[in-house]
Amino acid sequence: MRIGRARLHSFLLAPVLLSGAAFAAAAGECSANPSALGTHRTVAVEPREHGRIGTMNYAETLPLVDKEVVLTFDDGPRTPFTERVLDILAGECVRATYFIVGRMAKAKPELVRRLHAQGHTIGTHSMNHPFPFRDQGPERAKAEVEEGIAAAVAALGDAGKVAPFFRFPGLGRTVSVERYLGQRGLMVWSADFPADDWRRISADEIVRRALTRLEAKGKGILLLHDTLPATALALPTILRELKARGYRIVHVVPASAAHPKTPTTAEAWHPRPRPTFVSFTLAEVLDAAALRPLPASEEGPCLLQPASQPPTAFAARRRPKSAELALGSAPDVHALDR
């Protein structure tokens, strides 16, 4: 399952050409790729009934059955990585949920339109991805929410094309903003597990963490970023492994006349807890000097910790910035927080 780093530049810098077959795949016609993973089903949700989801922060999560996965991507769009991710998803007939940053949408509105054209759900992730978001204050935080939505609407030209889904930058939730979002009818998304791709780990490690955590949960919302080269490189392997292991992709949309609310039970939104195990590779154990407690002051823009992180949690020291991160032509929301 190793992914050679030497493939990175050729993979990411090749011309971005989405074929007619790929567009057909994005529309749900998988005849061009009979072995595609595909999108198993669509779940339509009512945000006002279930306003906060994702077990990393909340008691409720999406009403999935075992072996179902929802793919989500944060922080985009960003060239050339968003295009690469879109090509990969289209080739596998997979639909995802995107949480876009307003100023990135203003820089690349054509990519926001492409997201919608390929059938993905578009939620929002604030205007500027400020960090720490919880330090913005209620009024500034509300402005970040509203400006981010307005930028997405402007890129698409239709408010109906933007889902009432919001994810806090860095999962930096606050009670006052959660209350405001609920009053606005916005569904707050956390996640059930991350792949830690924002940590600048290798593509192989992104694959390992995503699959290990999914296997431990059995189902859930996976958080990734469409702004990073290693994620784009890891995604084909993740999708291939999901298919090989019998997982199915679920696409989530807001309930509407076109998509009536999917019938569910109250219990389906409250997953039964599984035993939690923490595992380390031998290399991680031997490299204990590279591990240290993660202070709250070092939370990054996408440090995906639960609201009540155990005091014994550890995180790897940050690695040097990768040169490939400079490839994107759109502004990099992460650069402000390094």
Question: What single string gives the DSSP state of each residue in 33-45?
Answer: -TT-----EEEEE
pLDDT in tens, 285-312: 454 444 344 344 334 445 333 334 333 3
Whether 4 is covered by a domain: the verdict is no
Containing structural domain, residue 146: 35-337
Whether 297 is covered by a domain: the verdict is yes
- pLDDT reported for residue 4: 56
| 225 annotated active-site | yes
Alpha carbon distance 299, 321 (integer Å): 17
List per-residue pLDDT tens for the chain, 338 residues long: 565 554 554 444 444 433 333 434 444 457 678 899 999 999 999 999 999 999 999 999 999 999 999 999 999 999 999 999 999 999 999 999 999 999 999 999 999 999 999 999 999 999 999 888 888 888 998 999 999 999 999 999 999 999 999 999 999 899 999 999 999 999 999 999 999 999 989 999 999 999 999 999 999 999 999 999 999 999 999 999 999 999 999 999 999 999 999 999 999 999 876 655 555 555 554 544 443 443 443 344 453 333 343 333 333 334 444 333 333 344 444 543 33
Whether 189 is covered by a domain: the verdict is yes
- pLDDT reported for residue 105: 98
DSSP-assigned beta bridge partners for residue 13: none
- pLDDT reported for residue 280: 53
- pLDDT reported for residue 276: 54
- pLDDT reported for residue 131: 83
Q: At 58, give phi and psi (nearest 5°).
A: -130, 165
Alpha carbon distance 221, 193 (integer Å): 7
- pLDDT reported for residue 188: 97
* Identified catalytic residue from 50, 125, 225, 251: 225
- pLDDT reported for residue 273: 66
Q: What is the CATH number of the domain that holds 180?
A: 3.20.20.370
Whether 109 is covered by a domain: the verdict is yes
Whether 158 is covered by a domain: the verdict is yes
* Identified catalytic residue from 50, 74, 120, 125: 74
Whether 175 is covered by a domain: the verdict is yes
Q: List the one residue out of 111, 86, 112, 74 whose CA is nearest residue 22.
A: 86
What is the count of structural domains for the chain? 1
Q: Calculate the alpha carbon distances from 67 to 40, 175, 264, 292, 299 in Å.
A: 11, 32, 17, 34, 31
Whether 2 is covered by a domain: the verdict is no
- pLDDT reported for residue 304: 34
Question: Angle CA(266)–CA(267)–CA(268) in degrees, nearest 5?
Answer: 90
Whether 1 is covered by a domain: the verdict is no
| 74 annotated active-site | yes
State the CB neighbour count (10 A cutoff) for residue 87.
Answer: 21
